[in-house]
Amino acid sequence: MSEGISQRPAEPPLQWPALIETVLLGSAAAMLLSKTARGALVFYIHPRYTWLVVVAALILGLLALARARAIFAANVEPGSGQPSSYLVVALAVLLGTLVPARPLGANTVSASMLGARSGAVAQLPQGDSRSWDLLQWSIARSVEGTTLAGKPVDVVGFVFHEPGAAADRFVVARYVLTCCTADGSATGMPVIWQGGTELPADTWVRVSGTIGSVTRNGTPEPAIIAEQVELVPQPKMPYLYSSQ
């Protein structure tokens, strides 16, 4: 550049691929970090992987910085410019940004999913049955069935309405995850409560009462005869985990 040529070198043109890649990598990093900071990451993956996602976000940020240097580079970078890749990656980032962060809930439950869990790898719950969560109840149900009658219950979950259920019924349900939402499955218990159908789906409630029995699809099944149903805010950890 300093060879005594009097005219100034022409402004290098903007390297659009480098600019787009910088923006996409940077916004992917920002999306992950903001989900982590707002406590929304646990809506998608088991909390034990949080550190991995933070590391990934930092690497994405580093890659964005590396690409930013190429935006004003004089020569075209090899291998840049993949319009369809940009659009697809942008779709992922936009889905993470524009769609309100929301845990799996009544919107994804299908009624067939709600039975007792047969994959009883966890231990049969011990101690006061009022301290059992819905996962522990489902394990207890799969092992002990109707002998649970009369035990006291105190659980938190979201409201789910089975199609065609009686007016005094709803299901209190919770999603159980092993690693991420791809393997999530719902577990729940029928609740007998006057005005149960008036509770909107996905409302978080705390249900206390005792175990009785309802007939579902022709077979008797444990159900909660509710003494109290209390509206509660969505828990910070909306899922239960089948392994720690």
Partner 1 sequence: MREEFAPTLPVDTHPPVARLNRFLSMAGITGAVLLLWLASGIGVPASLGRATDELQGLATIFLGIFIEALPFLLAGVLASAAIHVFVSAEHIRRLSPRSPVRAALLGTLLGLCFPVCECGAVPATRRLMSKGASPALGIAFLLAAPVVNPIVIASTWVAFSGRPEIVAARVGLTVVIAAIAALVVGRRATADALLMQSHHDHHDHHDHRHEGLGARVQALLSHAVAEFFEMGRYLVLGALIAAALQTVVPREALLAVGQGPVFAPIVMMALAFVLSICSTVDAFVALAFVNSFPTGALLAFLVFGPMVDIKSLLMYTATFQRPVVMRIVAVVAVLTLASAVAIDLVLG
Judged by CB under 8 A, how many residues of this single chain contact partner 1? 67
Report the nearest approach of partner 1 to the CB of residue 225 (Å).
Answer: 27
* Footprint of partner 1 on 163-202 (CB under 8 A): 178-185
Token pair of 172 as six digits: 């209190």
How far apart are the C-alpha atoms of 151 and 212, rounded to whole Å? 9
* Footprint of partner 1 on 45-104 (CB under 8 A): 45, 49, 52-53, 55-56, 59-60, 62-63, 66-67, 69-70, 77-89, 91-92, 94-96, 98-100, 102-104
Which residue, 40 or 225, has its beta carbon nearer to partner 1? 40
* Cβ proximity of 102 and 95 under 8 Å: no
Which residue, 44 or 170, has its beta carbon nearer to partner 1? 44
Q: Which residues contact 199 (CB under 8 A, 6 or more apart)?
A: 159, 170, 205, 229
Residue 239: phi and psi, rounded to 5, are -105, 160
Report the nearest approach of partner 1 to the CB of residue 152 (Å).
Answer: 28
Token pair of 29 as six digits: 């990093």
Q: Which residue has the tokens 């088991």?
A: 46
Cα dist from 15 to 26, 82, 90, 146, 211, whole Å: 17, 13, 18, 69, 67
21 binds partner 1 (CB under 8 A): yes
Instruction: Give the footprint of partner 1 on this chain (CB under 8 A).
Output: 21, 24-25, 32, 35, 41, 43-45, 49, 52-53, 55-56, 59-60, 62-63, 66-67, 69-70, 77-89, 91-92, 94-96, 98-100, 102-105, 107-108, 110, 112-113, 117-121, 178-185, 242-243
